[in-house]
Amino acid sequence: MRNRVLLTMLAAVLALLPAVPARAAPPQLRVLTFNACGNVCRLGEVDVTTRNIVYQVRGRNAAVAMVQELCFTQFLVLRNRLAKYGYRAVFGAATNGGRCANDLDRHGRGFGVAILARGPLSGQVVHRLPAPHGSPEEGRVVLAVTARLPGRTVFLATTHTAPRGPNLDVQLGALRGWLTPISRTRPVIFGGDLNVTPRNRHLDGFYAGFHEANNDRLEPLPTFTRGGSKIDYLFAGTSHFRPRGAATSCTAYSDHCMYLGIFQ
């Protein structure tokens, strides 16, 4: 009888305790990638080029922006204009852009890729992509950094691979071999201009280990204005993300569309 009374009292006490709240899902993460064509299409122009990127980043509420074919002088202004809204930025120089402005002697004609994120950045790395078959094309790099974003910390990476040939295949293999193991233990988002269409067999490993924002290899959203093909991508590791949507914005500023991916 005494045990029954104690159990009744314990049940009454437990009923008064507040319920343990369910763990909230992390907020959606909006990521933008854009080949700005800052050298060839924009001829190194800085003011209007960067204003357009800022407008798109803010208008689409992107927490992360990855930009390829960006002059370093364009990067400096873009970084400063987005800093007032809480964005931090890193740059990876791939080569020298022939039309990139050279109005700052200490910066020269640097040309490459950039990552901008709304949060602190740490651990920046720049790796040169392999080109064992020789190439008259510009040098290629992958830029990566860890970003502390609202609700999660993410390893971000962006690149612009060779436009064609055997070096492109080698570079895609190197990127996949580097990023796939990282994505198994850490949240990873990888984006950029990969210069291949979704059905290319060298993307099989990416589609197997990552979610692409559009996630449609048969009828994908076009991202390249010449020919209407998709060659720009946003991949997120399957262990930590699910795709929630994708959209493009195609303008006269570049021969590439801005490509937005939403993940959770």
**24-53 pLDDT, tens per residue?**
778 899 999 999 999 989 988 999 999 999
Q: Is 183 helix (H, G, I), strand (E, B) or coil?
A: helix
d(CA 178, CA 129): 11
Contact predicate 181/255, CB 8 Å: no
Residue segments in the chain with a per-residue pLDDT below the cut of 70: 1-23, 101-109, 135-137
Strands laid side by side in the 258-263 sheet = 88-96, 110-117, 64-71, 29-35, 258-263, 243-249
Q: Which domains can be identified in the chain, with CATH numbers? A: 24-263 (3.60.10.10)
Neighbours of 243 (CB within 10 A): 19
Tell me the helices (H) and strands (E) count for the chain, helix number first: 5, 12
Instruction: Check residue 147 and give its pLDDT.
Output: 99
Q: Give 127-138 pLDDT, tens digit per residue.
A: 999 999 886 667
User: What's the pLDDT score for residue 14?
Assistant: 47
> How many Å apart are CA 56 and CA 69, to the nearest integer?
17
pLDDT at 110: 82
